Every structure is written in structure tokens, then in C-alpha cells.
Chains A and B, each alone.
Chain A
Amino acid sequence: MDDPRELHASEGDAKDILIINAFTSAIRERGIDKTLETDLAGFYRAHGVVGETLEQMLERGPRRLRMYRQMVQGRLRRVLRELLPRTVARLGKKRFLADFADFFDDAGSHTVILRQVAGEFTRFCERRWAEAEAVPDFLSDLAKHELLSLEVRNSVGGREPATGLPLALDRPLRFDGTTRLRRYGYAVHSLPLDVDDRSEPEATPSALLAYRDREKYTVRFIALTPRATEVIERLLSGSTVVAALQQGAAAAGETLDDELLAGMTHLFADLSERGVLLGALPDALSDAPPEA
């Protein structure tokens, strides 16, 4: 037979688990604020809390339980408002509260890094925003753009040394480790930064190259033409210059002529000057492409 102390310990564990689960449900569950106030016993019983534990929890009442709920949820909403200020402002108070409540209950956060909650929330909302009549179509792009700033500002890497090798057609290129390319369906990068602004972006497909300034640490954006987007995207994923030019031009529906080559040469020179392009790689395998 089991050691009675062990049996006691596992009973204790089971009780601990029940009360912890009830407590965290009270914090997370959507729309139960009122239930906690009006039917606390029902709430606890539904979570399997009974007997002496239930008696003691009922004695302590709903006030501090609701305080935890408000404290935890309020803090996360504050963080989202700080990290995605324009997206949250354009959602409006009511919609944001509802989106947050669903996110928190249905998905919840699965990172210990507070700033990453912004990406979790955006990914959770993307499809519902696309389907919702009341949410403008460009909102997902705006959220992605706000996330891009956050990502580049905090990105691991950056300030890698130049390779010392001039650009060569048969080689891939090294980019600064903070470089990211994003495509949007709307020109959300042209919207004013003011959170109270409600002007609408043009429905123009846009692509931005973002990187962190080596000296000032600020995030800088370069709007790319469609053909530059195709070429840079390929270079970022490790193609050689010649492959990126050929496939990029084809993907953009353009011919690889002198005019295109001159444009790309000009762009490469500009990116080199900004410290985004750091020269040719000695061989195709020596740098992994930056993470998306």
C-alpha cells in the first residue's frame, strides 16, 4: 500500500490544482465579471472547488478576485495600447475590449517577453479583422507596420562588419542583421503618426525595407519599387545577385535591361552607404538569411 503521507500529498496537490485553475479562470474567462459578483459559489463549484476550500473562498468574497482580473487584464491592455498605439486607437474602445477579451480567453499569451504580446494579439485578430465589417481593411497592415518598428528596434543582431568584398554577380550579399522587408496591401507607412488621426491610407500595394540605424538606433524605412522588392526579397533569402536580378525582374514582369540594372546599382549603393548592405559574401553558405 502507498505511504499514507504520499497519499496525503497527492490529495493536497489535487486540491491545489483545483483552486489554482479556478483562480486563473476567474482572471481569464470572458464575460464572467458579473457572475463572480452574483454567483461566486456557482463559479467555484463549476471549477470543482467544494467543501472546506469552497467555504473559505466564499468567506473571502469576490472583491479581490475581481481585482486580480482587472489588474492582469488592465496591465496587458495598457501594454498593447503602448506597443500598437495607432492600431488600438483605430479599433476604438469597445472593439478593442472585445478583441482583447477573446484573445485572452481563447488564445492567451504564451511568451514571457511582454513586448511579444503585441505580435500574439495581432496574429490572433488578423482573420477576424479581415471578416469584420466595422474594421477597416487596412488595419491588419497598420498593425503589422507597428510591429515592424518594434521588431527592428529590438532585433538581435545589427552592426555586423562589412565583408570587405565588393558586390559580385555570382555571390550572395550580407545585410545588416536588423534588415526586414514587409509587403502591405495599403500604404500604411504614409499615415500620420498621430494616434488621433483617422485618415485612410491609399489602397496601393507597398513594400518597405526596414533597418536599425547603426549610430542612432532609430528604425528607418525605405519604400521599395515593385521590382526592387522582388530583387531585395531574393537577396535577403540568400540568392546570388545574378539570380536575384533575373528572377526578381521576371517576377515583377520586367526585362533585365540596362535601365533596371542602373536602378539596382543605384539602390545597392544607397543601401551600402546606409550600412544596410555589407558587401558580397565569400560563399553562399557563410551567412544565414535574417529571420522573418
Chain B
Amino acid sequence: MDSHPTGIGLGLRSAIIAEIDAGEADGALAFVEVSPENYLWRGGLALDQLARIRERFPLLGHGLTMNLGGLGPFDDRFFAELKDFLDRHPTPWYSDHLCLCNNGAEFHDLLPVPFTRSTAKRIAARIREASDRLERPMLVENVSYYLALGEVEMDEPEFIAEILEQADCGLLLDVNNAFVNAQNHGFDPYAWLERIPLERVRQLHVAGHESWDEQTLIDTHGADVRDEVYAMMAWVIERTGPLPVLLERDNHIPPLAELLGEVRKLDEVYQQALGRWRRGTGAVPLEVLHG
């Protein structure tokens, strides 16, 4: 994991891929995050655009369907295709979610898993297997969950920490998911963050969320990032130092120029947090920051 981008990046989505391909985000993004599932077993325009974009931006690979929380064996055909894609589009690591995607059929969604020791053990073994199959380090991402499943043997931070430890892998920390969960399940997001092993964090996600009903926030990636989520991102960066931070936007995607405005806003908060990290750790800035 030695060479990787840091700073703010965007996820490659069909709504903005043409503009990014046309150079409209050049110089404005530290990296582009790609979900291989959008490109596997596929040819045509999107693949040609991706081939050009990867020449101009570092890529980070982020999966949606690995089913790390699942009960059945991995799909060999999928893994072969994914490995081939990652070989052709190298990324320093590959990430997917601490969730269930398939149980006899594909749900095309990120479903919760029971926070139990047996689940943690099973997931950790599957992360190791995935990492071996893909021949690269894996990161796992904490998800938004709207319903706890089964008897809760441990809370989420303990569950995550146990998996990271057993799988010896990194964490893709989604601070919006932590915020949404804190609201929906009534806990303090900073108390939650305090118990996350920050030394394992390799990447962050920030996003906006919406309301499902008056009692439930839902992680739609369909709105601007809230101030509280900015503050959580800064809290983490202040403690970890430079990391790649992805602005996720999957729904109600505004024009690229507007998204890049949000990227700049995020970068300001990120740079301030980095400044505090440098003062805190005594690290010397390698370059004088403009502005």
C-alpha cells in the first residue's frame, strides 16, 4: 500500500464520466474511484472513456457486490473477471463493504449482517480469501444499517475492530455511514469514532444522505454533505494525516462544476485538518500550501 493518492476524489458515475473524460476535472481531483461492476463484461463508450481517464487520474477500486457477509462460497467467474479488470486498471488496494449482498439470490444492495463473533470470524476469513484471489490488499467499508440483526453480541466498533484484526486488513471509513447510523440508532458518532482503530484507516468516504421517514435517515448519496459529516472527516484527518477522501454522489447528481465546488469546499476543511495534524505530530509540511 506504499504508493497511493491522498486528497479529495470523486466516484466515476455515468452522469459525469463524459465531462471528466473531456478534461473538465483535470487538476481538481486527487483520484477517481471506480466500481468495477459497472465495467465488467462490458465494452463500448464507458470502457473507452475509462481507458482515457485512467491515464489522467490515479484510480481506486471500490466494489459493491463481493458479498463479504454472505454465507455461500465466492463466485469464481466473478473473481476471475474482477482480477482481470484490476490487473488492467491497477489500484493500490481493493475495497468492498461489510455487508451481505447475496443469499440465494442477488439483492443488488448492501444488507446488514449480525454483529456476532461467528459473523466476524466468517467475514475475516472471506476478506483474506478475497485478498488472496485478487492478489492485492483489501479494505473493508462500514455500511449504513437500518436494522440490527439477531442477538447483538458486540457493538459495531467492536465488530469492525475484530474483523480488521483477524483479517489484518485496512478500513475504508465512511463517516457519513457512521453519522447516519448514529442518528438512526441513537449513539454519539464521536464516541463511535473513538473506538475505531484509526491506524487501520486507509481511505475515507463522505456523502450526503436523505430521510426515509421522520425517524430514519437513509444513506442515498443523493444530497450535499452535511456540516456534521465534514466535521467528522476533519476529526479523523486530524488524527490520521493525509488519506484519500472520496466524495460519494450516486443520486440527484448535480452538474460536474457544482460537484467540483463541493470538492473544493471539502478540500479546504481537509487542508485545515491536515494543518492541525502537522502541528499535532510535529510533521513538517513538504510544500507550502497556497491560499
Residues of A within 8 A of B (CB): 9-10, 12-13, 15-17, 19-21, 23-24, 27-28, 52-53, 56-57, 60, 63-65, 67-68, 71-72, 75-76, 79, 104, 107-114, 117, 153-158, 177-178, 212, 217
Contacts and interface: CB of A to CB of B under 8 A. Distances in A.
B108 A108 contact: no
A65 B218 CA distance: 14
Interface stretch (B39-47, B158-166, B170-178): B39-47
A117 B107 CA distance: 11
Interface stretch (B135-143, B146-154, B224-232): B146-154
B119 interface: yes
15 contacts: A9-B118, A15-B150, A16-B71, A16-B119, A21-B103, A23-B147, A24-B100, A56-B150, A64-B216, A67-B216, A72-B111, A112-B101, A113-B41, A154-B43, A158-B44
B106 A111 contact: yes
A48 to B, nearest CB: 12
Given A12-B118, A23-B149, A114-B37, A68 B43 contact: no
A68 B147 contact: yes
B71 A157 contact: no
Contacts of B107: 24, 27, 72, 109
Main secondary structure of the interface of A (DSSP, over half): helix
Given A9-B118, A13-B118, A114-B37, A64 B43 contact: no
A245 to B, nearest CB: 31
B147 A64 contact: yes
B105 A28 contact: yes
A155 B109 contact: no
A23 B69 CA distance: 13
B148 A60 contact: yes
Contacts of B116: 12, 15-16
A23 B102 CA distance: 12
B284 to A, nearest CB: 46
Contacts of B37: 112-114
Contacts of A75: 108-109
Nearest 7 A/B pairs, CB to CB: A108-B105, A12-B118, A112-B65, A19-B150, A64-B147, A156-B43, A217-B45
Contact of B146 (A53, A64, A113): A64
Contacts of A12: 116-119, 153
B287 interface: no
Contacts of B64: 112
Nearest to B148: A60
Given A114-B37, A157-B43, A20 B114 contact: yes
Contacts of B152: 56
Interface string B229-258: 000000000000000000000000000000
B75 interface: yes
A17 B44 contact: no
A163 B75 CA distance: 37
B113 A109 contact: no
Nearest to B146: A64
